[in-house]
Chain A
Amino acid sequence: MSNGRDIAILGVGMHPWGKWGHDFTEYGMVAARAALADAQVQWKDIQYVAGADTIRNGYPGFVAGATFAQKLGWNGARVSSSYAACASGAMALDSARAQILAGFCDVALVIGADTTPKGFFAPVGGGDRKHDPDWQRFHVLGATNPVYFALFARRRMDMYGATAEDFAQVKVKNSRHGLNNPNARFRKENVIADVLNSPIVSDPLRLLDICATSDGAAAMVVCSMDFARKHLGNTDGLCRVKAVGTVAPTYPQSVLELPDIASDSTAVVPAPARKWKDTIAFAAYEQAGIGPDDIDLAEVYDLSTALELDWYEHIGLCAEGEAEGLLRSGATTIGGRVPVNASGGLACFGEAIPAQAISQVCELVWQLRGQATGRQVEGARVGITANQGLFGHGSSVIVAR
């Protein structure tokens, strides 16, 4: 299974997710050292550092690639820094992949780390910025991120008959998946009543339906197949990146997405047949030359429990309106046909924005290598990730071995 555009994942590493408020680079260094050790590659041999940015930690966060190159000790490697909100990590991987496939470098470090404040995310930077749509949505509407999660959740209820119990079941499933994941922040088994007894934040979503914000870091070492062959003697059983879909919407973006105040107009140009979030994974499938039936497991962005159900449909595991049925059948639980969020997902991690998309890929690598102790999807060969960031940043990565 090779289309001549594979790159190899030599090593992965993470700093556990939590809430400590330390300098984000501390977490990143732990993840970087772990990925380098896993890859058995020396830092001095890394030729390119692709950093995923954090925008809540000052200037070093905006230039994450340089920040980590300096912290590891300037070694002459070129650097890039990517910001694509929640998709930043995938954009960083995409940057490293393009450099490798173009022949501009052989081996790269991809890294993201974050420290997050407590509570709701609010607009970054102070003052009245009346032309900033992020400021506008908070000031004029009070439209927090969970408001948007809730709009999608309510639509599932009114259109497809989803229930609060269905949403709670996603949390229950993920809490069991993540119970033994050493990098997960929340490792407590939840039952339906825990979710249903937690306070409503944005109706119909309750506190335990919505992911927390976390500190954490993830990193990986990726390289050309030639480099991998020289480094290891052969490429047997190596995890390969088969696709990175980083997809922006096509006009008109007819679905109201975070953080927009209104959709695009469908008055002149009709809505595309395949809407934006449906195009994200399909771009990746197209690159990899496979389809949803080939997938053994998926890591999707469960910013809320209900959004996990949306993703089942967006990545083609079932048709629109059928996600509740797929969940209830047990297909997306470990042991089922296509386990989703075997890591425990954001439900067990909380979101560390620039690290999150990288951590999804780390999980696929551990699963495909058979190293996901306590949460192993048996015989997994192909996995997909999917996530979505503010302002039209979608990403999906396919990893196979």
Chain B
Amino acid sequence: MSETLSRVPIIDGWFTDDIDAPTLIGAKCSQCGTFVFPPRSGDCPNPNCDSVTLDPTPLSRFGRIWSYTENCYAPPLPYVAAEPYEPYALAAVELAAEGLVVLGRVATGIRAADLKVGMEMQLELDVSHRDADHEYMVYVWAPATPGSEATQ
């Protein structure tokens, strides 16, 4: 079925479409070097910096869980829930190099009971939902593969 659907991101410009090693796309201040996610152009959020230029930049694929939860009921629109609804986990993951905590869905099949604060996670892509023509892709956090750079 999915071969006939065109694969598109659920939102433009937040992550790369490299299915094997996707990265989030943040923004970095050209002057002070601070990071921003979700990506945006324009003014630096650092009040000590007067830069008006933020450049797109890939963010670390690996981080540690700051906290996590699981949605046992379908969120309201504009979330597009599967029928029948399957509970899914969310995790806020701390990226050490960027000093960011980024909230994301957790990969299908990984539940809150499988997670712990401090656990190493990596970025992956997953199907959020489908319509007649499209398969909408979303970034997700998944437990890091043993031996990956997250565990070093």
Contacts and interface: CB of A to CB of B under 8 A. Distances in A.
B104 interface: yes
Interface in B1-51: 10-12, 14, 29, 32-38, 45-48
Contacts of A264: 45, 100
A204 B77 CA distance: 23
Contacts of B142: none
A122 B70 CA distance: 18
B104 to A, nearest CB: 7
Nearest to A264: B45
Contacts of A200: 70, 72
B68 interface: yes
Interface residues of B, number: 51
B47 A202 contact: no
Interface string A101-145: 000000000000000000110110000101001011111111110
A204 B68 CA distance: 9
B90 A265 contact: no
Contacts of A267: 33-35, 97-100
B69 A203 contact: yes
Given A202-B70, A268-B34, A142 B79 contact: yes
Contacts of A136: 11, 38
Contact of B11 (A130, A254, A263): A130
Nearest to B33: A268
A262 B103 contact: yes
Contacts of B72: 199-203
A140 B138 contact: yes
B90 A256 contact: no
B125 interface: no
B147 interface: no
Contact of A138 (B32, B34, B79, B103): B79
B47 A251 contact: yes
Contacts of A159: 117
Interface in A186-204: 199-204
Contacts of A260: 103
Contacts of B92: 151, 256
Contacts of A70: none
Question: Which applies to chain A's interface (DSSP): helix, strand, loop or mixed?
Answer: loop
A234 interface: no
B23 to A, nearest CB: 14
A269 B48 contact: yes
A182 B112 CA distance: 39
A153 to B, nearest CB: 8
Nearest to B103: A261
Given A140-B10, A159-B117, A262-B38, A202 B71 contact: yes
B134 interface: no
A140 B78 CA distance: 9
Interface in B82-129: 88-90, 92, 97-105, 112, 116-118, 128
B67 interface: yes
A119 B11 contact: no
Given A120-B75, A147-B71, A265 B34 contact: yes
A152 B48 CA distance: 30
A266 interface: yes
A252 interface: yes
6 contacts: A142-B88, A142-B105, A202-B70, A203-B72, A262-B36, A265-B99
Given A133-B38, A139-B10, A202-B71, 13 more contacts: A130-B11, A137-B103, A138-B78, A139-B79, A140-B138, A142-B75, A158-B117, A202-B69, A205-B69, A252-B34, A255-B101, A262-B36, A267-B98
Instruction: Pick the 7 closest A-B CB pairs, nearest first.
Output: A266-B99, A150-B69, A142-B75, A158-B117, A203-B70, A267-B99, A265-B35
Interface of B: 10-12, 14, 29, 32-38, 45-48, 66-81, 88-90, 92, 97-105, 112, 116-118, 128, 138
